[in-house]
């Protein structure tokens, strides 16, 4: 599935729609270059989950946890991690197979350990503000979510 | 010897107090994500209920895994912190051994399992090595027949079968996920296999760690809080890289 966004507001709205659909254990891998709108999409997703806390980039903390919404949101940014063994030490599986929703920025840093059932989202720059958002589901549960997202 | 034991490696949080002679008390509860918040209040409440001063403790035993990364770290960190603060020794005992010890009188092979996710489990295969008769009754000492490790779920039955060899020994499977394994095991082992009731069994009990823990505390000259490390038992990076390479070559 491919979406187009004409700016940050639209990207955020797409995220908000997804936030209304995701389930316990949903994994969203967000790929795309710096500044393309990954955190913007996640902000929308947090709002869609009913999370009121302001969302900030987890680049330096690696993982941020948001509770207080319909489901906990675990927002991760693996950009700063150099090796897969550094990822091992974070115990990411506890989050992946936990009680909330995971959004993972820079998933390619730990590609071989991304769960089998997940939604891969890749944001590409089309022009200054416009974006092309490619969405691919892997596994049955994610397929059902992406299908509902497409209809939203 | 007054000992505190704790285990937070799995979804169960368990804390116990005991001496060389007996188990005094135990608090065991299930609840996955807040072990770090609960562990110290639970320790406090149990000490209070037993009428023990924190400062009267002489050793700490911790279930050092395997289990969830976060869970194992919480338990080991809590134990080491107390050990440093109270200047008393800290020893680690396998969480799997603790699970098996709760059923140590089972006449056969005991196979405790902890979900390692991605279709894998941590397991070790135990059987009674000798019966211990004490003034207060009998118990069994358990021997681990293989190396505790991480196995794909479908391989557990092979491992158990190879260790059981030709014997007709019954096998008890316990832990998270045993009911999922049941359809795969029952056709092979039939009535020789038994399974715990997942919803009515708290599989990890810190009280079971006290006896092996006290043995370690008494026989080892180590036990310095600084030397204890968690046993994560995950795949090492080299293996992960190998899988990565294989995936790229496909």
Mean pLDDT value across residues A17-25: 96
Q: Are B61 and B114 within one domain?
A: no
Q: Is B246 on the interface with A (CB under 8 A)?
A: no
Half-sphere exposure of A79 (CA within 13 A, CB side): 16
CB contact under 8 A, A83 and B237: yes
Q: Is B247 on the interface with A (CB under 8 A)?
A: yes
- Contact residues, A window 63-122, toward B, CB-based 8 Å cutoff: 83-85, 88-91, 93-94, 96-99, 111-113, 115-116
Q: Are B222 and B184 within one domain?
A: no
Q: Are B190 and B212 within one domain?
A: no
CB contact under 8 A, A99 and B32: yes
Q: Are B187 and B210 within one domain?
A: no
Q: Which positions ≥6 away from A76 have C-beta within 8 Å?
A: A58, A62, A63, A64, A92, A95, A102, A103, A104, A105
Average pLDDT, chain B: 86
Q: Are B195 and B216 within one domain?
A: no
* Residue of A84, A90, A112 lying closest to B247 (CB–CB): A112
Q: Are B195 and B207 within one domain?
A: no
pLDDT band at B245 (very low <50, low <70, confident <90, very high): low
Q: How many domains is chain B built from?
A: 2
Which residue, among B75, B116, B244, would best test binding to A if mutated, counting the most A CBs under 10 Å from its CB? Answer: B244
Distances (CA, A) of A66 to A63, A75, A125, B196: 10, 8, 28, 36
CA distance B6 to chain A (A): 20
CA distance A148 to chain B (A): 26
For chains A and B, what is the number of CB pairs under 8 angstroms?
A: 38
Residue A73, beta-bridge partner list: A66, A101
Residue A106 Ramachandran class (φ > 0 left, ψ -120 to 50 alpha, else beta): left
Q: Are B172 and B196 within one domain?
A: yes
Domain assignment present for B149:
yes
CATH number for B224 = 3.30.420.40
Q: Is B248 on the interface with A (CB under 8 A)?
A: no
Q: Are B125 and B139 within one domain?
A: yes
Mean pLDDT value across residues B180-202: 84
Domain assignment present for B243:
no
Domain assignment present for B44:
yes
Domain assignment present for B240:
no
d(CA B9, CA B63): 7
Under DSSP, the state recorded for A55 is: P
Q: How many domains is chain A built from?
A: 1
Q: Are B76 and B194 within one domain?
A: no
Please state, for a pLDDT cut of 90, what percent of chain A lies above it. 71
Q: Are B135 and B189 within one domain?
A: yes
Determine the residue of chain A that is closest to B247 in CA distance: A112
Domain assignment present for B52:
yes
Determine the residue of chain B that is closest to A91 in CA distance: B69
Q: Are B183 and B212 within one domain?
A: no
pLDDT band at B3 (very low <50, low <70, confident <90, very high): very high
Taking only the tens place, the pLDDT of each residue in A22-55 is 999 999 999 999 989 999 999 999 999 999 999 9
Is pLDDT above 90 for B185? no
* Residue of B33, B117, B241 lying closest to A93 (CB–CB): B117
CB contact under 8 A, A91 and B69: yes
Distances (CA, A) of B120 to B42, B52, B84, B155: 31, 41, 35, 9
Taking only the tens place, the pLDDT of each residue in B148-157 is 889 888 888 8
Contacts of B32 in chain A (CB under 8 A): 98-99
Predicted ipTM of the assembly? 0.73
CATH number for A109 = 3.40.50.300
Contacts of A108 in chain B (CB under 8 A): none
Q: How confident is the model at residue B99, as a pLDDT?
A: 96
Q: Are B182 and B212 within one domain?
A: no
3-class DSSP state for residue A150? helix
Print the domain residue range for A55: 2-151
Domain assignment present for B12:
yes
Print the domain residue range for B149: 103-200
Domain assignment present for B209:
yes
Q: How confident is the model at residue B183, as a pLDDT?
A: 84
Contacts of B247 in chain A (CB under 8 A): 112
Distances (CA, A) of B214 to A21, A104, B59, B101: 52, 44, 8, 14
């Amino acid at each position: 599935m491919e979406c187009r966004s004409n700016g940050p507001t639209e990207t955020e709205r797409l995220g908000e729609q997804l936030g209304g659909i995701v389930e316990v254990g949903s994994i969203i891998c967000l790929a795309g270059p710096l500044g393309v709108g990954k955190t913007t999409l996640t902000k929308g997703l947090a709002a869609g989950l009913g999370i009121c806390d302001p969302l900030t980039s987890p680049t330096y903390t690696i993982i941020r946890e948001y509770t207080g919404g319909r489901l906990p949101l675990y927002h991760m940014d693996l950009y700063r991690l150099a090796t897969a063994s550094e990822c091992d030490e974070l115990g990411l599986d506890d989050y992946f197979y936990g009680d909330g929703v995971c959004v993972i920025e820079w998933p390619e840093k730990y590609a071989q350990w991304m769960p089998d059932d997940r939604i891969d989202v890749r944001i590409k720059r089309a022009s200054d503000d416009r974006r092309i958002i490619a969405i691919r589901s892997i596994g049955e549960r994610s397929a059902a979510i992406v299908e509902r997202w497409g209809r939203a | 010897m007054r000992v505190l034991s704790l285990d937070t490696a799995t979804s169960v949080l368990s804390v116990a107090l005991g001496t060389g002679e007996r188990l005094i008390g135990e608090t065991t509860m299930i609840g996955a994500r807040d072990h770090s918040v609960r562990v110290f209040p639970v320790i406090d409440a149990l000490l209070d209920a037993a009428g023990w001063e924190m400062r009267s403790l002489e050793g700490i035993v911790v279930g050092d895994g395997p289990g969830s990364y976060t869970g194992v770290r919480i338990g080991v960190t809590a134990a080491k912190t107390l050990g440093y603060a109270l200047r008393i020794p800290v020893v680690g005992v396998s969480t799997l051994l603790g699970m098996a010890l709760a059923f140590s009188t089972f006449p056969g092979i005991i196979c405790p399992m902890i979900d390692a996710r991605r279709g894998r489990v941590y397991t070790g295969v135990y059987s009674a090595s000798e019966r211990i008769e004490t003034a207060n009754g009998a118990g069994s000492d358990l021997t681990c027949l293989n190396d505790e490790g991480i196995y794909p779920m479908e391989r557990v039955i092979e491992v158990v079968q190879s260790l059981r060899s030709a014997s007709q020994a019954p096998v008890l499977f316990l832990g998270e996920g045993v009911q999922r394994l049941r359809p795969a095991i029952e056709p092979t082992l039939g009535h020789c296999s038994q399974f715990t009731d997942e919803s009515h069994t708290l599989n990890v009990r810190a009280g079971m760690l006290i006896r092996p823990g006290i043995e370690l505390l008494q026989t080892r000259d180590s036990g310095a809080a600084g030397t204890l490390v968690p046993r994560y038992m995950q795949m090492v990076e080299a293996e992960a890289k190998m899988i990565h390479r294989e995936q790229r070559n496909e």
